[in-house]
Amino acid sequence: MLCWLDGLPANALPPADRGLAYGDGLFETLAVKDGRPRLLQRHLARLAEGCQRLAITLDVSAVADELERFAARLGEGVAKLIVTRGDGQRGYAPAVNQPARRILLGSPFPAYPKENAAQGIALFPCRTRLAEQPLLAGLKHLNRLEQVLARAEWQGSEYAEGLMCDSSGRLIEGVFSNLFMVKNGELLTPALNRCGVAGVMRGLIIDLAASAHIALQVRDIDGHELPAACEVFVCNSLYGIWPVRRFAAQSWQVGALTRTLQRLLATAED
Ligand SMILES: Cc1ncc(COP(=O)(O)O)c(C=O)c1O
């Protein structure tokens, strides 16, 4: 596995790293194609916002150069960037203005079945709920135990993703994706001001919908609204859009708006 630590090849992490001790950090998972990181500016914008909200000191433009060099080296696959607050002493108190640590990991692109994007997927109803924490909502921070518990709820290939609600039963997102649905001709995606990750692909889809004059609402969506949806899809920055064809007793055809957005995405600029 290709691995760089603070810009240099490495294969070990200092044991005092606060990312390991407390999940004190952020990450980004980028698709790399033809030696270039896809959607780089969007990933950097989310990372910069996360660093600002957590008071992590990171030179984001230096990270951009590093990611370009790493992607050129990787060629094709997935670049995972982990940014931690760096080393700590005992105790939670963060040092002030300590430069962040950067870890870059390269791996092959996941072998997702082609049918996922073409015919759609079955979505597993996860029992694990997302806790509400507005201070962390939207960030791709390193505390991902809820996703680990949720992903352990199903095995095998029948379900390609799982659906997660918050503790009040609102629909929030997939285990590793964001959620969209179409209701009364309008595109809906859950508000992420209490929990959930504000995905880069979600942001791109919101912008594509706006340019194509597709009506869209970002709002709280109760779990009971799902049966009234006429199209449902999930998305992330690696696989793009997967239509949902089945959830519990509910089934859907791949809808026209989902197909339109898949087409717009295929030709979208970075
Ligand atoms: C919990 C969670 N939500 C949403 C997403 C989608 O984010 P993105 O579009 O930035 O890949 C991911 C991606 O891994 C995720 O882990």
Q: Determine the distance separating the centroid of ligand 1 and the alpha carbon of 143, expressed in angstroms.
A: 13
Please state the atom number of ligand 1 nearest to the C-alpha of residue 201. Answer: 9
Catalytic residue among 173, 189, 231, 258: 173
Q: Is 80 a catalytic site residue? A: no
Whether the predicted pLDDT of 269 surpasses 80: no
- DSSP secondary structure, 156-180, as one string: SSS-SEEEEEBTTSBEEEESSSEEE
| Secondary structure class of 94 (helix, strand, coil) | coil
Residue 114 confidence (pLDDT): 95
Q: Is 173 a catalytic site residue? A: yes
Q: Determine the distance separating the centroid of ligand 1 and the alpha carbon of 220, expressed in angstroms.
A: 18
* pLDDT (tens digit per residue) in 86-111: 999 889 999 888 999 999 999 999 99
For ligand 1, atom 15, name the residue with the nearest CA: 176
pTM, entire model: 0.97
What is the Cα–Cα distance from 73 to 36, expressed in whole angstroms? 9
Q: Is 140 a catalytic site residue? A: yes
What is the Cα–Cα distance from 159 to 168, expressed in whole angstroms? 24
Q: What does the pLDDT average to over 212-231?
A: 97
Residue 270 confidence (pLDDT): 74
